[in-house]
Amino acid sequence: MSTFGGWVANETTTIFLIVDQSEQAQKAVDALARIGIDTVEGVLVKGVEAWREQGLPIERLGTTSAQECATLMQTQEVHVLDVRDDMEWEEKHIPGALHTYVGYLEEQLPQLPKTSPIVVHCTVGHRSALAASILRRQGYTEVLNMLGGLTAWEKLGLPLEAAAKYKRTDCIRRGDR
């Protein structure tokens, strides 16, 4: 909570928490307070199901699988956005993917049309769900979260590439100035 809460909220952000059990609410409020965020305005206990049972509106994010994403990449224009951290990206990533760490996403939105199809992924789907929500909030309309993320992509044997690594010869040695 405090890690990603701190990336997407600050001391002026109005926050409404959604929890499954009432005891989870206090833990979440405390975690946010420890990082200086004490603007929790309300708590919905019993999760989204309680909201839905009241007949209130629900907005959903689209999802896709790694196999469906690979098919989309071959059959139509789709942008793949990797929201893992820099080290994960450099180790391996989907060829042609864009990269922005989820924590920087609001400040570094993809330079794509807001109606362009975008598949967001991380390692398994948690960070990418947050990223998909951020993109939707910023007006992107065709956003899909790739469930299973790069883990599923790799298990299917789909193509991966590594970022170029620096070689020792690329560094200037002290005596070579």
Q: Residue 126 pLDDT > 50, yes or no?
A: yes
**Are 106 and 132 in contact, with CB atoms under 8 Å apart?**
no
Q: Residue 175 pLDDT > 70, yes or no?
A: no
Q: Tokens in use for 144?
A: 């899909």
Please list the active-site residues. Answer: 122
- Residue 146, classified by CB atoms within 10 Å of its CB into exposed (0-12), middle (13-18) or buried (19+), is buried
Q: Which CATH superfamily is domain 62-155 in?
A: Rhodanese-like domain (3.40.250.10)
Q: Residue 167 pLDDT > 50, yes or no?
A: no
* Residue-range domain boundaries for the chain: 2-53, 62-155
Q: Using CA atoms, how far apart are residues 22 and 37, in angstroms rounded to an integer?
A: 20
Mean pLDDT value across the chain? 86
Q: Using CA atoms, how far apart are residues 53 and 116, in angstroms rounded to an integer?
A: 33
Residue pLDDT, tens place only, 10-63? 778 788 888 888 888 888 888 888 888 888 888 888 888 888 888 888 878 899
Q: Is 55 helix (H, G, I), strand (E, B) or coil?
A: coil
**Are 84 and 101 in contact, with CB atoms under 8 Å apart?**
yes
